[in-house]
Amino acid sequence: MEKKVKYDFTKSADRNNTNAEKYTLREELFGTEDVLPVWVADMDIDTPDFVLESVKKRLEHPIIGYEEFPDSAKIAQIEWMKKHHGVVYEVDDIFYSHSVVASMQVVIEALSEVGDEVIVQTPIYPPFFHAPTHMQRGVIINPLKQLEDKTYTFDFDDLRSKITPKTKLLLLSSPHNPVGRVWRKEELEALLAICIEHNILIFSDEIHCDLVYGENKHIPFSSLKGAKNRTITAIGVGKTFNMAGFAISTIVVPKNLQEPFQKAYDNVHFAQGNVLSHVAFESAYKNGSQWLEELKIHLYQNYKMLDELCQKYSELISVTPIEGTYLAWLDCNGMQKNNKALREWFVNEAKLGLSAGLSFGKAGRGFMRLNFAVSSAKMMQIISQLQIALKKEIKNGY
């Protein structure tokens, strides 16, 4: 008997005139409001009803004051991570953070000094190389290696050749933004072996850990043998449940690294977040399993629609095979356009606002990133606009 679908992803609320970042910045970023924005990594999908109901219930109490991040919320996250990812965290190792980028900056401050070197693996979410540079750390660029099947893997030979005695920290994206890889255990173990050999610590951004498709399985880096005491992990509800606006995530810090981390953390004064984010966070982890499973089916259907379109125009565009996240990494090198012209083509011809591949590092030349976490109705609109533009490009002889 077919499972009854509880959640409806065919449509979503209109975000125009709501101060949503991806909509209000269209004119500034793309020079026009006549684009469908598919750049910043939040979803055009309604935040789950059980999260919103928890917030409504909390608002029945008329005082919204200072509040501690409750252990019950941490326990909900611990139980979720154990159930879904097989890793066990301790309450005392979990710290509140309002964002992964903020978490990363605190870790860089805590675990390295001015002049030390930080490894980043491009193409990568831009703050990964911006943050170390702004904090006067050297940046070691260790580009990922693209294989014949268009997927990416680590380039261990390149990494070994670039490590110096000043190399203190590696910034890992797992699952990877933007290339969509869910790293295999053997890949992570090989990366860990190099880090152990050279006494390098790891900041593991695992904010997309729940958004994994098919037989792929997210492996928490800290769960690897020998990794726990050298890994700080960033996780949270923002991507999984479309809750970025609650500004809440967590940092898991092993006890042996908590003293330097706490010093840097206190200097920033993170405090404990806001009242409503606490209850929303806890509700998401307690009630979100079925919603997530249905969401992933929907997201993968969106990806397949995009992939099928790209296959029809493979001489112009292809989508990197995706294993996790809701971010499509589009190879547009077949269009033979420079990066400025490529970006303008998407804006003017497809009327879509994407993230420029070059913003993810030099390895992103000729690529664009498209966020397909949208309703079915909006995905069909994206496909239609992109197809019209691709047909026109073929007709004009690109």
Q: Find out whether 143 and 363 touch, Cβ atoms under 8 Å.
A: yes
**H helix intervals, the chain:** 21-24, 26-30, 49-58, 71-85, 100-111, 127-134, 156-162, 185-197, 258-268, 275-287, 289-312, 339-348, 376-395
**Whose CA is closest to 89, among 255, 246, 225?**
255
User: 226 to each of 105, 192, 195, 221, 231, how far by Cα in Å?
Assistant: 24, 8, 10, 10, 10
Please count the other Cβ atoms lying within 10 Å of the Cβ belonging to residue 183.
Answer: 24
CB neighbour burial string for 236-262, b if at least 16 within 10 angstroms, e if fewer: bbbbbbbbbebebbbbbbbeebbeebe
User: 280 to each of 76, 245, 313, how far by Cα in Å?
Assistant: 11, 11, 43
CA 130 – CA 277 distance, rounded (Å): 28
Q: Find out whether 38 and 256 touch, Cβ atoms under 8 Å.
A: no
Classified as helix, coil or strand, 257 is helix
pLDDT at residue 380 in the model: 98
pLDDT at residue 5 in the model: 52
Classified as helix, coil or strand, 81 is helix
Q: Find out whether 202 and 232 touch, Cβ atoms under 8 Å.
A: yes
Tokens standing for residue 166: 């000043």
Tokens standing for residue 384: 């239609």
Q: Find out whether 307 and 166 touch, Cβ atoms under 8 Å.
A: no
Provide DSSP, 191-204. Answer: HHHHHHHTT-EEEE
Residue numbers in the chain where pLDDT is lower than 50: 1-3
pTM value is: 0.96
Residue with tokens 């979100």: 288
- List pLDDT tens digits, range 8-61: 999 999 999 999 999 999 999 999 999 999 999 999 999 999 999 999 999 999
Structural domains of the chain, with CATH: 21-48+289-395 (3.90.1150.10), 52-287 (3.40.640.10)
Name, in order, each residue with C-beta under 8 angstroms of 187's C-beta and a sequence gap of 6 or more.
Answer: 153, 154
pLDDT at residue 396 in the model: 85
pLDDT at residue 3 in the model: 46
Q: Find out whether 122 and 363 touch, Cβ atoms under 8 Å.
A: yes
Q: Find out whether 207 and 239 touch, Cβ atoms under 8 Å.
A: yes
221 secondary structure, DSSP code: G
pLDDT at residue 397 in the model: 74
Q: What is the enclosing helix (H) or strand (E) of 59?
A: none
- Phi and psi at 332, nearest 5°, equal -110, 20
**Whose CA is closest to 279, among 12, 68, 62, 7?**
68
Q: Pairing relation of β-strands 355-356 and 367-371?
A: antiparallel
CA 396 – CA 393 distance, rounded (Å): 5
CA atoms within 13 A on the CB side of 81: 29
Residue with tokens 């977040």: 273
- Phi and psi at 212, nearest 5°, equal -125, 140
Radius of gyration of the chain (CA): 21
Residue with tokens 């992939």: 307
Residue with tokens 């919103």: 52
- Phi and psi at 59, nearest 5°, equal -70, -10
